[in-house]
Each structure stands twice: as C-alpha cells, then as structure tokens.
C-alpha cells in the first residue's frame, strides 16, 4: 500500500507541475484591454495588447489624458466661466482677434503652423480661419441655415490665413482683423490621436489601436503575420465596406460628405466648406488618407476633400509617406500608386475602381 501512495504522490505532483505550466502560459498570454471615452465630440476607443494589464491600463489612462489636454486647448465652444473656457487657447486667440497676439501652448502653435502649410499647398481651399463661415452656416451650433450669397461674400472677407500671424520666437498667434476666428475641427482630433500614440510608444506599448470616430492610428502589427485590417466605408451604403486597408504603424482618416450632415429645408449639407467659395465642396464623396502621422492624415483628408480629384492626387505625389483613396461624386474610386499593395477593393453598387 505504501508503494501506492508513493506512486500517487508522484502522479499528483506531475499533474500539478503541468497545471503550473499551463497557468504560467496563460499568465504570459497576450491580453487585450479596451477603454472608451467621449472626447472631441466623438467616441474615442483605445485597445492595447500585452501581458501586463496594469501597465496597459496606466498607459491607456495617460493616452486619454493627452487627448483631453489637446481637446481642451482647441475647444471652440466651451461655456464662458468654466475651466474649459479658461483652458482653450482657441477661445483666447478668437477673443483677441484684431486686439493683440496671444501666447499659446506649443502644440497649438504647431497645429497652426501645419495648418498654414496646407493653406499654401491647397492654394487657399483649406483655411483654419474658417470659423466665421462655420458660424454663418451654423455648423457646431443648434440651428443651421443656408446663407445668402451676400452673407457668404461678406463672411469670406473674414476668412484669410494670411491674416493669422504666428511669431515663432514668442510662440504667439494673432488674428489681425476683428471678427476673425479659428476652427481647428479639421486638425485637432488627428493631432490629439497622434500625441496619444506617441505617449504609448514612448511608454513601450508595442501593439495598439486608437479609434477616434473613424480617425484611426495603429501601433505595431496585428500579429506576427498580419497587418491591422481597417475597413473603408461605402459613402452611400453604410452597411457596406468599399474595401479593406492593411496597415502597420500608420494612421487612416476619412473625410466624407455623409458625415455630420445637416438638413435645411429638405436638402442636406455637409460641413466640409471650401474657404474659396464658402459652400460645401462637391467633387468628392469621401477621401481617405493613409499617413505615418495621424495629425497629418486628418488635416490632409479635409484638405484633399476640398480639391479636385486630379489636383488631390497630384498633391499627394509630391508628399512623402502619404497615400490616398478618393471616391468622387460620380462614383470613381482612385488610389495613389503606393496604396495598391495595401488596399483591397471589395465591391459597392455602381462604383468603378481605377487601378491606375
């Protein structure tokens, strides 16, 4: 009988050893941590992957904090008297239009500098001083209306990036005419997402996906052999994906004529206004930009949306590490050459995909 207990003991011991092994294996298994917060007028979701969930939790919190910081700095409509109102550099610059230069946060200054560059590159179609025109249409406000031609002409006189004076040495910004105002709606979200991504990369995160309402930034690869799969929405049928992008360590941002639309007297209008004409731009249904930097992708998706498709492709060919998918209003899908490897066209009703 003694022999039996000995053998049983050895048996149980080996089973426990095996269990310990399995436990150790599970402990070191990759886990996913997803957190969501409502920031910058959208749902921001951050998914991180790794073995140490406490670490992932901490980094995710830091990343959200960074997004919130940029959101507060660039908020255009905080209620007066609140802390948010005090913290917004955009409010300060707008309130001091025609009065005096305002010293601003380093990140706000950078955003304005990049916005100025794209004002030049798009020959004035994209303009960060579009505030008065957005207000005239009522975007971001409770009620919207179609302005008259006279109102548009009058307001366009207040939209002029050449009157946004940036002083690099003093890090100040100044709108030189009273009534002018900045709207960082096309810049801030992508910039904030990139800042968050940088916080995570610096902390040592190797795999993550940040999704701020379709403004996507991926860190690393999905797994050893596969890239992240990012669907591109069909602009006329939200249940359909027009195609799938395979991305690693990149950002993808889309500007579409179907987002944030308002209906005025039975007609719908989108918020991507041309700073040249004062009306919603009408050549494209959607423009998806793939770039290394989410801030650049965000700004470019709006800028390119406002341009003629050929003009947009031409501009992309002059930029490094930037690719684009353009879906025109006559349902032609065009890709920049560098994207052919990364974009897999699926299908969509009535679209024609031009491989060249």
Give contact residues for another protein (rule: CB under 8 A): 1, 3-4, 7-8, 11-12, 15, 19, 35-38, 41-43, 142, 209, 211, 213-216, 218, 222, 228-233, 235, 238-241, 244-245, 252-254, 256, 259-261, 263, 286, 288
Smaller CB distance to another protein: residue 235 or 295?
235
Smaller CB distance to another protein: residue 163 or 331?
331
The minimum distance between CB 65 and another protein, in angstroms, equals 16
The minimum distance between CB 307 and another protein, in angstroms, equals 19
The minimum distance between CB 116 and another protein, in angstroms, equals 26
Which helix (H) or strand (E) is 300 found in, with range?
helix 294-306
Smaller CB distance to another protein: residue 159 or 251?
251
Smaller CB distance to another protein: residue 110 or 260?
260
Smaller CB distance to another protein: residue 238 or 266?
238
Pure H helices in 144-287: 149-156, 188-203
The bridge status of strand 284-291 relative to strand 251-256 is antiparallel
Which helix (H) or strand (E) is 133 found in, with range?
helix 131-137
Euclidean distance between CA atoms 189 and 77, whole angstroms: 15
The minimum distance between CB 289 and another protein, in angstroms, equals 9
Smaller CB distance to another protein: residue 102 or 252?
252
The minimum distance between CB 254 and another protein, in angstroms, equals 4
The minimum distance between CB 201 and another protein, in angstroms, equals 18
The minimum distance between CB 8 and another protein, in angstroms, equals 6
How far lies 349's CA from each of 4, 141, 237, 243, in Å?
74, 34, 9, 13
Smaller CB distance to another protein: residue 121 or 241?
241
Write out the two tokens for 81.
């008297």
CB atoms within 10 A of CB 147: 17
Backbone dihedral angles phi then psi of residue 271, each to the nearest 5 degrees: -95, 5
Total residues found in the chain within this entry:
356
The minimum distance between CB 97 and another protein, in angstroms, equals 26
Smaller CB distance to another protein: residue 127 or 250?
250
Which helix (H) or strand (E) is 87 found in, with range?
helix 83-87
Check if the beta carbon of residue 284 is closer than 8 Å to that of residue 309.
yes
CB proximity list for 37: less than 8 A, separation 6 or greater: 43, 44, 64, 67
Which residues face 35 on adjacent strands? 46
Backbone dihedral angles phi then psi of residue 251, each to the nearest 5 degrees: -125, 150
């Amino acid at each position: 009988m003694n022999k039996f207990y000995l053998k049983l003991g050895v048996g149980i011991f080996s089973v426990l050893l095996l269990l310990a092994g399995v436990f150790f294996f599970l402990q070191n298994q990759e886990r996913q941590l997803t957190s969501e917060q409502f920031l910058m007028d959208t749902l921001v979701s951050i998914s991180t992957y790794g073995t140490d969930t406490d670490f992932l939790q901490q980094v995710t919190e830091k990343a959200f904090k960074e997004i919130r910081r940029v959101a507060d700095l660039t908020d255009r409509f905080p209620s007066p008297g609140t802390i948010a109102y005090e913290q917004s550099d955009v409010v300060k610059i707008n309130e001091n239009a025609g009065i005096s230069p305002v010293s601003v946060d380093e990140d706000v200054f950078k955003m304005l500098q990049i916005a100025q560059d794209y004002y030049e590159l798009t020959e004035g179609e994209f303009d960060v001083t579009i505030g008065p025109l957005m207000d005239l249409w009522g975007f971001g406000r409770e009620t919207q209306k179609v302005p008259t031609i006279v109102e548009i002409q009058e307001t366009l006189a207040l939209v002029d990036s050449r009157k946004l004076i940036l002083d690099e040495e003093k890090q100040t910004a100044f709108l030189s005419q009273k009534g002018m105002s900045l709207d960082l709606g096309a810049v801030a979200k992508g910039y904030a997402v990139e800042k968050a991504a940088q916080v995570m990369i610096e902390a040592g995160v190797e795999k993550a996906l940040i999704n701020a309402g379709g403004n996507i930034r991926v860190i690393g690869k999905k797994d050893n052999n596969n890239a992240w799969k990012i669907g591109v929405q069909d602009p006329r049928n939200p249940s359909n994906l027009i195609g799938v992008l395979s991305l690693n360590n990149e950002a993808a941002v889309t500007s579409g004529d179907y987002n944030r639309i308002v209906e005025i007297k039975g007609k719908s209008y989108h918020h991507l206004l041309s700073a040249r004409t004062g009306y919603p731009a009408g050549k494209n249904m959607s423009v998806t930009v793939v770039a290394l930097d989410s801030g650049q992708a965000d700004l470019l998706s709006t800028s390119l949306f406002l341009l003629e498709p050929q003009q947009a492709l031409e501009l992309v060919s002059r930029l490094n590490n930037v690719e684009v998918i353009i879906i025109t209003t006559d349902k032609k899908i065009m890709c920049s050459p560098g994207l052919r490897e990364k974009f897999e066209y699926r299908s969509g009703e009535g679209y024609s995909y031009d491989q060249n």
